[in-house]
Amino acid sequence: MTISIGWFSTGRGPGSRGLFEFVQQRIIRREIPAQIKFVFSNRDPAEDEGSDLFFDLVRRDKIPIVTASSNYFRRKFEGDSSTRRIEYDRRAMTLIEKYKPDICILAGYMLIVGPEMCRRYTMLNLHPALPTGPVGTWQETIWQLIEAKSLETGAMVHLALEEVDRGPVVSYFTIPLSGKSYDKDWDQVMGLSVQQLKDIYGENLPLFQRIRQQEYQREPYLLAETIRAVALGQVVIKNFNVFDYKGHPWKGLHLNERIEAQLKSDEG
């Protein structure tokens, strides 16, 4: 079975481009039985330099690009923010209606998807934290991890539903934030508040950088393996819930072993 994918991304940074290229290359090599039918972005061509680089990647593989600038929509819309989100999503759904994707992937998509769109499509969101972890952007989650002195983190793919970053878990990986390799970094932040760390070091803080590097390295593998598992029926998504291949409800596919094996193989 080959599943069809709608790919949603603002595409503004190297992380978004890297995720798309990583998955697309595995599709081309037939490691994932899938096809990206279209890419949707909330940036128009020539609106953002980073997004334009992302569009160049998509065009290279002759994948249709659908765009609708959320910045332009916000400037023109006269209602409140919640109504604007609903109307923007309706505009997006009209633009992508003809593609009829089996699943949609949110990877670096910098908008919150509203309930109407979540209920029309099966939307899988990559979130840079564990199911019980912090919510927000990857920068926000890392600062929250440091503030809480967390001993573990990771990332997950979950169903995008009404509650932001809290839909049913499809898959995840975990990484430790303790041990000898972290001791020096944790010692550096002891006695300082997060605000002080932001003021003194910003995102150059070694602990911040170490956490991000560990997550960033594994997130493409998480996304690719999740899509492959869905395509092969190892994970079943039905009625906006997640089941194993036998139809039993579960709490997500733990992908540490697969990810670490692939990382080791690629590094070798």
Count of domains for the chain? 1
Give me the pLDDT at residue 177, please. 95
Give the mean pLDDT of 189-198: 95
| Residue 163 pLDDT class (50, 70, 90 cuts) | low
Give me the pLDDT at residue 110, please. 87
Give me the pLDDT at residue 100, please. 95
In a domain, 209, yes or no: no
The answer on pLDDT for 216 being more than 70 is: yes
Query: 136 is in which domain, residue-wise?
Result: 3-176+216-267
The phi-psi region of residue 11 (left if phi > 0; otherwise alpha if psi is between -120 and 50; otherwise beta) is: left
In a domain, 165, yes or no: yes
In a domain, 210, yes or no: no
256-267 vs 206-231: helix crossing angle, rounded to 10: 110
Task: Assign residue 65 the CATH number of its domain.
Answer: 3.40.50.170
Give me the pLDDT at residue 85, please. 87
Give the mean pLDDT of 180-186: 93
**Residue 189 to residue 171: CA distance in whole angstroms:** 31
Whole-structure pTM over 0.85, yes or no? yes
Give me the pLDDT at residue 165, please. 57
Give me the pLDDT at residue 239, please. 86
Give me the pLDDT at residue 164, please. 64
In a domain, 152, yes or no: yes
Give me the pLDDT at residue 167, please. 83
In a domain, 52, yes or no: yes
Give the mean pLDDT of 37-55: 95
Give me the pLDDT at residue 266, please. 87
CB 56, CB 50: distance < 8 Å: no
Give me the pLDDT at residue 205, please. 97
